[in-house]
């Protein structure tokens, strides 16, 4: 057995703090699920289902912007300060989304101006999500030892799903035993407002973690980088060896920051397609519209929230499965298994929609789909995005891939109500097709990255 040089306590502490960005990512994107039906009665009541779909998904516009900005922010200000900026955006969005009338409008009077204001405040939070979604896994991957990197980056996805589970509980707690009038006037506001609490904790705790050694090297702060590596590893010799490897990829006769296509187009295209497939399989439709989907199956408001919580528990459990096995089985096998399970789930939901079947079997197929996603494409796509890009193009390539991911997410979720108006069978059948194509893509094009250092992975693209 190889000796462990890792300072496990330090690594665990910085991972927990960094993954709060993932928790807020999940919290911000899922909080809308409990509020969206109330928003349709207040904010978007005078508009079409397409406008409502765009309003529910408007934070994703900010996610695209945040994803694109993550390159400049992470390179110019560092990974740590960029995450702190994201935390501030989360706080602002939570407060103003809860009370969009602040500054300009009267409570209870819906208008086009209020619709625009609400969407702007959600977009602000979305920018925070876009930044965190790119930079939190980037931060963890640059801090993590190679032998546990997949597991630690997967913890970011666990935090995302845990954030969703927390907000499902919070939403249920807010609506439990309350009247529809309360939910539609006060309850939905409290759902958004609660996000300010974890966002504030994230902002404060970020002051207690260091910048990543790889960013410090790119910023020509080699002494600080070595100090951080000495905290990560118990052995100074091992820290020095890792430091030397980083030096070879950042200083040896090459530009510190290279053009995007310095390592060819293949790695960029693979990163983009990983992002797009992760969204086109339809996962965020299940997450954003879960209460509505269950309500359409014939259950009441409280019961639909309970089934959403059940689905949240399943998501957490199967994300833990991915964390346990991503560094044992590798990335590709789990992705292929996940694509197969997701396809089965979506085919089942499509068939149930076609036959008009209402019952527990539809919930079972939904759980098969989400469980398959959570043990594969949910965490592992982020692991691969944090790993496959070489050091000198990581921030720019990650920004591009994340922007594509959020654009795909926005497209899928915005058009879901419109597509369902046309045909539910066709809608879920489309997602099943995307699941099939995602598996074929992995088999043919995605490299295995298990056990390799970030510096070793550069040789694949050279």
First to last CA, the chain: 32
Cα separation, 63 vs 410, whole angstroms: 9
Please choose, from the candidates 284, 207, 27, the residue with its C-alpha nearest in 3D space to the C-alpha of residue 293: 284
Provide the pLDDT for residue 315. 75
Residues 6+ apart with CB under 8 A from 374: 157, 161, 314, 315, 316, 318, 319, 321, 322
> What tokens does 371 get?
């469980």
Q: E strands along 36-108, which residues?
A: none
> What tokens does 318 get?
């199967």
Check residues 324 and 64 and name the one with the higher pLDDT.
64
Domains of the chain, earliest start first: 8-461 (1.20.1250.20)
Provide the pLDDT for residue 461. 66
Provide the pLDDT for residue 308. 64
Span 64-120, pLDDT tens digits: 899 888 888 988 899 999 999 999 999 999 999 989 988 887 777 778 888 899 999
> What tokens does 402 get?
């994340």
Provide the pLDDT for residue 202. 95
DSSP class of residue 108 equals T
Provide the pLDDT for residue 186. 86
Provide the pLDDT for residue 363. 76
Provide the pLDDT for residue 389. 84
Residues 6+ apart with CB under 8 A from 117: 96, 100, 101, 104, 105
Lookup result for tokens 């009077």: 109
Provide the pLDDT for residue 272. 93
Between the alpha carbon of residue 91 and those of residues 53, 208, 295, 395, 405, the distances in Å are 24, 19, 31, 25, 24
Lookup result for tokens 């977009």: 123
pLDDT of 256 over the 80 cut? no
Helix axes 377-388, 331-355, angle to 10 degrees: 140
Helix axes 112-143, 377-388, angle to 10 degrees: 60
**Listed range (52-66, 146-160, 430-444) with the worst mean pLDDT:** 146-160
Confidence class of residue 18 from pLDDT cuts 50, 70 and 90?
A: very high
Q: What percent of the chain has pLDDT above 70?
A: 88
Please choose, from the candidates 61, 358, 88, the residue with its C-alpha nearest in 3D space to the C-alpha of residue 196: 88
Span 114-162, pLDDT tens digits: 889 999 999 999 999 889 988 988 898 888 887 777 778 778 878 887 8
Cα separation, 186 vs 427, whole angstroms: 33
Check residues 404 and 44 and name the one with the higher pLDDT.
404
Cα separation, 107 vs 32, whole angstroms: 20
Provide the pLDDT for residue 296. 57
Please choose, from the candidates 168, 191, 203, 175, the residue with its C-alpha nearest in 3D space to the C-alpha of residue 95: 191
Please choose, from the candidates 163, 428, 120, the residue with its C-alpha nearest in 3D space to the C-alpha of residue 285: 428
Confidence class of residue 163 from pLDDT cuts 50, 70 and 90?
A: confident
- Residue 65 has a CB neighbour count (10 Å cut-off) of 18
Cα separation, 317 vs 289, whole angstroms: 21
pLDDT of 188 over the 90 cut? no
pLDDT of 317 over the 60 cut? yes
Provide the pLDDT for residue 331. 84
Provide the pLDDT for residue 424. 80
Distance of alpha carbon 3 from its chain centroid, rounded?
Answer: 34
Among 58-62, 67-71, 334-338, the range with the most confident prediction by mean pLDDT is 334-338
DSSP per residue, 337-381: HHHHHHHHHHHHHHHHHHHT--SHHHHHHHHHHHHHHHTTHHHHH
Among 83-92, 229-238, 276-285, the range with the most confident prediction by mean pLDDT is 83-92
Check residues 157 and 366 and name the one with the higher pLDDT.
366
Do residues 338 and 431 touch, judged by C-beta distance below 8 A? Answer: no
Provide the pLDDT for residue 253. 40
Provide the pLDDT for residue 440. 95
Confidence class of residue 290 from pLDDT cuts 50, 70 and 90?
A: low
Confidence class of residue 255 from pLDDT cuts 50, 70 and 90?
A: very low
């Amino acid at each position: 057995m190889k000796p462990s040089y890792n300072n496990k306590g330090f690594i665990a502490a910085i991972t927990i703090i960094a993954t709060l960005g993932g928790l807020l990512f999940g919290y911000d994107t899922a909080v809308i699920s409990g509020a969206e039906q109330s928003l349709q009665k207040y904010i978007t009541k005078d508009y079409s289902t397409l406008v409502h779909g765009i309003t529910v998904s408007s934070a994703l516009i900010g996610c695209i912007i945040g994803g694109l900005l993550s390159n400049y922010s992470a390179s110019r200000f560092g990974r740590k300060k960029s995450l702190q900026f994201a935390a501030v955006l989360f706080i602002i969005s939570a407060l103003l989304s809860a009370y969009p009338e602040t500054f300009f409008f009267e409570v209870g009077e819906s208008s086009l101006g209020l619709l625009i204001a609400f969407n702007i405040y959600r977009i602000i939070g979305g920018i925070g999500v876009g930044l965190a979604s790119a930079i939190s896994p980037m931060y963890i991957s640059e801090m993590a030892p190679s032998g546990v990197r997949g597991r630690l980056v997967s913890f970011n996805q666990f935090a995302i799903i845990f954030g969703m589970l927390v907000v499902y509980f919070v939403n249920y707690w807010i609506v439990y035993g309350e009247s529809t009038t309360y939910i539609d006037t006060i309850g939905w506001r409290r759902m958004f407002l609660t996000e300010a609490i974890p966002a504030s904790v994230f902002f404060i705790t970020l002051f207690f973690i260091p910048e990543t050694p790889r960013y410090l090297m790119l910023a020509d702060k080699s002494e600080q980088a070595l100090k951080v590596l000495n905290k990560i590893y118990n052995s100074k010799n091992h820290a020095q060896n890792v430091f030397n490897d980083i030096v070879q990829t950042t200083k040896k006769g090459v530009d510190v920051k290279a053009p995007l296509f310095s390592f060819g187009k293949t790695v960029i295209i693979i990163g983009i397609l990983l992002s797009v497939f992760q969204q086109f399989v339809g996962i965020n439709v299940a997450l954003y519209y879960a209460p509505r989907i269950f309500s359409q199956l014939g259950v009441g408001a409280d019961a639909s929230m309970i089934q959403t919580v059940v689905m949240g528990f399943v998501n957490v459990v199967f994300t833990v499965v991915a964390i346990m096995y991503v560094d044992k089985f590798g990335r590709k096998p789990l992705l292929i298994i996940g694509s197969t399970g997701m396809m089965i789930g979506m085919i089942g939901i499509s068939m149930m929609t076609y036959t008009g079947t209402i019952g527990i079997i539809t919930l079972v197929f939904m759980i098969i789909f989400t469980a398959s996603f959570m043990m594969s494409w949910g965490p592992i796509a982020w692991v691969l995005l944090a790993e496959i890009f070489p050091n000198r193009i990581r921030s720019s390539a990650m920004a591009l891939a994340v922007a594509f991911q959020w654009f795909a997410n926005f497209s899928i979720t915005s058009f879901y109500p419109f597509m369902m108006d046309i045909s539910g069978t066709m809608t879920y059948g489309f997602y099943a097709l995307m699941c099939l194509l995602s598996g074929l893509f992995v088999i043919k094009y995605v490299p295995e990255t298990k056990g390799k250092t970030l510096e070793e992975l550069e040789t694949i693209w050279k």
